[in-house]
Amino acid sequence: MKNLRRKTLAAASAVTLGVGLAVTGGLTPAASAAGPDTTFLVLAPQGAKTDKAAARVAAAKGTVVASYDQIGVLVVRSTNPAFATDVAGAGVDSVASTAGLGSALDEGETVEVSAAEPANTTADPTKEPLFGQQWDMPMIDVPQAHAVNAGNAGVVVGVLDSGISSSHPDLASQIAKNKSTSCIGGVSDTTEAAWNPTTSDHGTHVAGTIAAAVNGVGVTGVAPGVKVAAVKVVNDDGYIYPEAAVCGFMWAAEQGMQVTNNSYYIDPWQLNCRNDARQRPVWKAVQRALRYSQGKGVLHVASAGNSNWDLAHKITDTGSPNNGTPEERENLTNSCLILPGEAPGVVTVSAVGPTGQKSYYSSYGQGVVEVTAPGGDTRFRTRGASSTPSDGILSTTYNTTTKTNGWGYKQGTSMSSPHAAGVAALAVSAHPGMTPGQLSAFLGNTTEAIACPGGVYNPVPLIAAGPNAYDATCSGGKRNGFYGSGMVNAYNVVR
């Protein structure tokens, strides 16, 4: 068992969701005194419709703002302080209040660069002005892949994140605007302003890695021939809530997307415990949305996290929740998972740096990590003493202060996940008709295996956190805890 603390990491994704209490019992008189306007997830029993639950919501002085009858989940607003108690009863499986329990996206630092003068438009990604700084693309054989298949415009990757800049010169032609939306509050808003970024360029950076255009400007994406859809789930204060995540998965399903990228985790506790009454309703709601979307043909790709945790073994979490005073939770078992990364059917991605070895921050775990991809490692050159920004991932950015588009470096498993999502988009472009399960297996079967390093692995012993702060031990053979089946490979999925 390892006792691990949450690490702060510049530009690593740390979007989280909160959870309320599961309650049961009979309907009681609603309180007369109004409380704060609060959002709830109300779940009908598995397989049941939401009509009985909706009736109980109304009786408990709540208002349904979004109904996902396909999965038996309602998004509700109420000022009744006793709503969670009053709504319980026949037709209601559980209820979760999401008030005040979201956690902020750890945006970290974006290191911006100046684009060179645009070259002549070319179909060769190596001719993009900033391609020489994209060490990540040759690592997964993107140029070779583009010579065969750069992606099909009928393939859409949903970017569940902080929005995508629709005016960015590397992305303007790449966005499926008719499939983009904001899911803030759990309700879809398809206006273009709603799904553009407001306080974070995280989603814009992710989108560029997936599908930045080969247009003689800036950078190239892994799959520039496909489209990305902005599915905004991070609000103006930088928070994501459960209702937004459920909305995002359901939107992807109903819009016919083939892949989604999810560079975040769910819950202010980084590990969501299914056996905890406080957390189980959110787990159930998210799981229902994931299963439904998978049934509609959507493959979900997610980041493994940036805490250097061995997710396959018991963990003592002393850094959660990250939206309040941390509590120590000891001996957390496999009933406590990172969501959505460890949910069934989701492809979980670890990160490597320019050496092709595990990034110092990347979480890992035998049987948890499916594949690995470039995510950046800005500390390996100095053994942790200082940062080298160009060893991060270069992609598209949007400065939310100056309202200008640009390019810049970030690092994290937030950056490795979209590389894998882009490769998955190339795979389904070259081999249409695969189910999510088939696509996931194909992605894993076409990787390039990476062997475990021997002994205790720690490329950053000089980091300020201490010489052993990022110790990690890899287990397994050809398929192992650091890299899963290996590095995703764009050429292997299209040839």
Q: Where are the domains of the chain?
A: 2-15+105-494, 38-97
Per-residue confidence band for 256, with pLDDT thresholds at 50, 70 and 90: very high
Residues in contact with 336: Cβ distance below 8 Å, sequence separation at least 6, in sequence order: 271, 272, 273, 274, 315, 329
Q: In CATH terms, are 2-15+105-494 and 38-97 the same topology?
A: no
Burial of 302 (0-12, 13-18, 19+ CB in 10 A): buried
For every residue of 22-61, which 3-state class applies, written as one string? CCCCCCCCCCCCCCCCEEEEEECCCCCCCHHHHHHHHHCC
Query: Which has the higher per-residue pLDDT, 64 or 102?
Result: 64
Residue 115 pLDDT: 56
Comparing 256-265, 367-376, 424-433, 458-467, the range with the smallest average pLDDT is 256-265
Please check whether residue 396 is in contact with residue 405, taking contact to mean a CB–CB distance below 8 angstroms.
Answer: yes
- Mean pLDDT value of segment 127-150: 96
CATH number for the region 38-97 comes to 3.30.70
CB 350: neighbour CB atoms within 10 A? 30
Catalytically active residues, by annotation: 161, 202, 414
Write out the DSSP string of 60-107: TTEEEEEEETTTTEEEEEE--TTHHHHT-STT--EEEE-TT--EE---
Query: Which has the higher per-residue pLDDT, 6 or 447?
Result: 447
350 backbone φψ class: left, alpha, beta (φ>0; ψ -120 to 50)? beta
Containing H/E element for 347? Answer: strand 347-352
Nearest by Cα to 37 from 81, 67, 74? 81
**5 pLDDT more than 80:** no
Q: Is CATH 3.40.50.200 the right assignment for the domain spanning 2-15+105-494? A: yes
Nearest by Cα to 376 from 108, 17, 43, 80? 108
Q: Is the peptide bond before 197 cis (omega within 30 degrees of 0)?
A: no
Query: Which has the higher per-residue pLDDT, 36 or 272?
Result: 36
Nearest by Cα to 140 from 408, 351, 347, 348? 351
Reported as a single tens digit per residue, the pLDDT across 284-303 is 898 999 999 999 999 999 99
The amino acid at residue 38 is: T
Whose tokens are 């959110």? That residue is 282
What is the three-class DSSP state of 219?
Answer: coil
Q: Could you tell me the pTM of the whole model?
A: 0.88
Reported as a single tens digit per residue, the pLDDT across 46-81 is 999 999 999 999 999 999 999 999 999 999 999 999
38 backbone φψ class: left, alpha, beta (φ>0; ψ -120 to 50)? beta
Q: Quick one: tokens of 427?
A: 């795979």
- Mean pLDDT value of segment 37-47: 95
Nearest by Cα to 394 from 413, 381, 412, 411? 411
Comparing 63-72, 188-197, 229-238, 356-365, the range with the smallest average pLDDT is 229-238
Q: What are residue 129's phi and psi, to 5 degrees? A: -55, -35
**94 pLDDT more than 70:** yes
Reported as a single tens digit per residue, the pLDDT across 311-343 is 888 555 555 554 555 555 544 556 567 778 778
Per-residue confidence band for 110, with pLDDT thresholds at 50, 70 and 90: confident
Q: Is the peptide bond before 340 cis (omega within 30 degrees of 0)?
A: yes
Q: Measured at the alpha carbon of residue 10, what is the angle toward residues 6 and 13, in degrees to the nearest 5?
A: 65
- Mean pLDDT value of segment 90-118: 70
Q: Quick one: tokens of 343?
A: 């949910």
Whose tokens are 């639950």? That residue is 53
